Amino acid sequence: MNRRTKTQSPALFTQRAIDVIKRIPRGRVATYGQIAAYAGEPRAARQVVWILHSYSDKHRLPWHRVVNGKGRISLPRHQGYGDQKRRLEKEGVKFGNGDTIDFKRYLWSSPRAK
């Protein structure tokens, strides 16, 4: 009777989070917490991180459009920091002093969330 074995599919949250990330439009950015909130778990920002690590490739997620709550890239300098910055600038996102992104201009807001 338990037709649905838990190992079959990722948690609903994970699925929704992936979906949310895929909806981030070009030239816009979203924060980890924001994505988690749209997916239904405001405090699962860390889970979003894990998702990026595990599914960004399989699902072709726009991982570079995800930044931290301070409007800055979270990747370590020795990792994809420069890569992410370049990808964003290529989409028209400008970085201010201290490599901060102006949320008033580039933060994405889901049409359905509001």
Partner DNA sequence: CTCGTGACTCCCG
Partner DNA sequence: TCGGGAGCCACGA
Q: Which residues bind DNA (CB under 7 A)?
A: 10-11, 13-14, 31-34, 41, 43-50, 52-54, 56, 63-64, 66, 68-70, 74-76, 79-80, 84, 98
The structure tokens listed for 7 are 């190992």
32 or 38, CB closer to DNA? Answer: 32
Question: Closest approach of Cβ 81 to DNA, in Å?
Answer: 9
Closer to DNA at the Cβ: 74 or 110? 74
Min dist CB 59 to DNA, Å, is 12
Residue 111 CA to chain centroid, in angstroms?
A: 16
Helix (H, G, I), strand (E, B) or coil at 6: coil
Residue 25 in tokens:
């439009």
Q: 48: closest CA among 11, 75, 18? A: 18
Nearer to DNA, 56 or 110 (CB): 56
CB–CB of 17/47 below 8 Å? yes
